[in-house]
Structure 1
Amino acid sequence: MCEDLRKASDQKQALINALTTEKGTLQEQLSKTTEDLKRALADQKTQNIALEKEVTQLRTESHDMKDLQRRLEEVEEEKKALLQNLAAVGGRLPPAREDSSLISSAIQGDLNTLRRHLDQAGQKDSSGMTALMHAASRGQTEVVRLLRPLEAHLQDGRGWTALMHAVGGGHEECVGLLLLERDLKDGEGRTAEDVANGLPDGERRRITPLLRKKVQLPDLPDELSSFQLTGKIGRGAFGTVFSAWSEEHGNCALKVVEYEEMERTIVDSLRREMGTIPSLEHPHVLRYHRVHDDPDNGTAYLVMEWCSGTLLDEVRGRGERREPFRDDEVWRCLREMASGLAYLHEKRYVHRDLKPENVLLSYYGFIGLGVLICDTRHVPVA
């Protein structure tokens, strides 16, 4: 019996030894498998990082290819204009500026030719870029100032706005003029500030604060809710003028007159003329689309047709370019001003401030008299 117990004890010990050995083997295998998994996970993480870098590089290369394509198209435009100008020297073709487009005029920064092609506003090249975008990408500040009311908030083929092009080029003045586009996103969901974050440190530090600057635009009354302000044009003697847009009238100018501090006689004249001037309809008299008086806030709002510039702008531009007016242009200007004045006189109005800066130019170069509030006097019928 003792022998049987000893044998059973030996068998039990042998089993324990075998199990201990197997446990050790399993632990070694588990440890090895764990290490293998850790190495595999580390390798996978490294591969993922490499793939992310590759994806980022591919996106960058894609943007670079689009930029290169855009630049090639711009070079072709410039080449075409250059060849036309060279041919013009030999008398074979007219000068390029006579038949150039709005986009090519914007690329060259030619304001005079640009004004002749404003009827092409909104047109895009093969990459989806507008004239405003081309001007913004080159830092053509005055061109941007002229085209902003006509082409703001448009986006190119990849979703970039004129502001994004200005940011990408590091053009501070153009960025300041286009801030109302800063909330728009491109095809990848990026804003202008995201574009700025990709600039070199120096440019990023200059541009980013501009993008965060507040744009001071007045709140319009409910009666003018169909109009959206797109920027500030300037300030005159009787108010501040903003560019605006509506589905009904398209691009227009909106003047805000704060009359609370004005003399009573001027306010009375303002209100009287607001009631009559919008009824004036003549091809050579500035058209008022809408007027609204808010006596509680002491503010008047006047919505006018959009004009590309003034006769004063044209005279100065011609002087800088040493380009005199042709006789037919002078006669046309006089004829159209006289036509507008005759209409005003027929309606018993006298224009009290007739000067080049109050003679406005339309898209097509037609002359229109700026019948400004408080610059006219209604003559009572005898």
Structure 2
Amino acid sequence: MLYFDHCASTPPYDEVVQTMMEVMRSEYANPSSLHLAGTAADKLIERSRAVIASQLQTKAGSWIFTGGGTESNNLAIKGAARQYAGRGRHLITTQIEHASVYEAFAQLEQEGFRVTYLPVSESGHVTPEQVEKALTDETILVSIMHVNNEIGSVQPIGQIGSLLKRLPKVIFHVDAVQSIGKLPLQIEEWGIDLLSGSAHKLRGPKGVGYLYMRDGLSLHPLFTGGTQEFGYRAGTQNVPGIVASAKALRMSMESMEERQRRMLGLKRQLIGIIAEIPELKVNGGEPSAAHILHFSYPGMKPEVVIHMLEQHGIMASTKSACSSKDNKPSRVLLAIGASLEQASGGIRISFGDEHQERDIAELGAALRRIVGQLKPLERRLT
């Protein structure tokens, strides 16, 4: 099987699985308990917090463990907006955010906040100038993802952060779920106040997320009922998952540069193959992440292509895994100006550590065969 859906989830490192099993066996006490076993479990959490902070060059106490990237995004956005609503009720984001961000803002609109959704270029990017123009005296939060989860566009986070540094009232949140361990991040230098991540996107376990919060900030918690995670995330911590997630992050960071170079070569190879298949069209543009390539087969339902790829032993996806089961055109593709047919026929390929040039060649051969089989049926399958 060739698994090309690493944006949705990744196969965990063997060492991560082993670590998680060992901690589950030996450190099963509640980390909030006062006895020695509870204290030992709590120390593992703090050690994991320190590992993540060290790898991402921030202070250890700045990281909050959550149940995943979606929770981290919701805690950052709703927590900041509700906490600082007294300063203003205007928020800024983009039209191409992940559903966990986009829908969080939609919910805040129902609570009386005003949201500006910035449009993007055909390549899938916003500019610092757009952000600056959208700012008002009432703006309290700007949330912009680092790497888009569908088309891979990389936003100018450093430039936007430099702009917002001059405005201490405005909080800057970055969804870095698709970039941690895959692209360089300079959280403090870029002026990021809140940053979300997810362990299973970088070969860690599912069910663990993390949220960076700059010193001096406070958040209105989503959950109540305990003082865990500095009072921002009540509930017993997932000790085995947290320890395993810190290990996965460290391993991903150590191999990041080499992986970037190799995946860029694979992406270029696949772009070359798609360029030779006139029915297919690559979506988005540069700068983009090396591990994501999105293309469309306009006029063809993407699930047809996905299931035909499965018959060749190839696993791919259409868009975000959170939204892949609905039949609506991609909101991201519509935002970059794609036609309705193009936005309804997208396929996402996302690479992992295991992929080699021969795997891309096999994927390309399968795509050629599939398009050849489907072309006579295009109208009947739309």
TM tier, smaller: under 0.3
Larger of the two Rg values belongs to structure: 1
TM-score, length basis structure 2:
0.28
Q: Which has the higher contact order (CA 8 A, sep 6+)?
A: 2
TM-score, length basis structure 1:
0.28
Greater helix share, structure number = 1
